[in-house]
Amino acid sequence: MSYYDSFPSTWKDTPKNRQGWQRLQSNTSFLEKQQNLYRTLSCHYCGKGPLTIVHWSDLSSQNSLYKATVDHVVPRAHGGRDNDDNLVVSCGPCNYRKGANMPY
């Protein structure tokens, strides 16, 4: 399944979609802190940037390749915490690739 296939062609504000979105971008404050520190956000995995912080309700940008997302180094399912040292900035495709086993 490709990155684009994982998104519905029309974003619907269902509780499930909203939950998935919030899981991907659960920590906007972390992203904003990183942006303040480094001026620009780039992907921890592929180095792509600058990435943009996109609010979940921004329908036009929600599947942007340059959407900044938060990735857990140690997944929460394996006991990872929401601490800053367990979080990295990731672009959408990398986050989706890594999180391919998430039950969407």
Asked whether position 43 contacts Zn ion by CB under 5 A, the answer is yes
Residue in this structure with the two tokens 């490709």, named with its chain if needed: 2
Query: Can you tell me which of 24, 51, 54, 91 binds Zn ion, judged by CB under 5 A?
Result: 91
- Contact range with Zn ion by CB under 5 A, out of 2-10, 52-60, 74-82, 86-94: 86-94
Q: Which is nearer to Zn ion, 11 or 45 (CB)?
A: 45
Closest distance to Zn ion from the beta carbon of 43 (Å): 3
71: phi then psi, degrees, rounded to nearest 5: -115, 140
For residue 12 the two structure tokens come to 């619907």
For residue 59 the two structure tokens come to 């329908």
20: phi then psi, degrees, rounded to nearest 5: -65, -40
Asked whether position 70 contacts Zn ion by CB under 5 A, the answer is no
Asked whether position 94 contacts Zn ion by CB under 5 A, the answer is yes
33 sits in which H/E element: helix 28-38
Asked whether position 45 contacts Zn ion by CB under 5 A, the answer is yes
Q: Which is nearer to Zn ion, 4 or 10 (CB)?
A: 4
Q: Quote the Cα angle for 90-86-25, to 5°.
A: 45
Please report, as ranges, the residues that interact with Zn ion according to CB under 5 A. 43, 45-46, 48, 91, 94
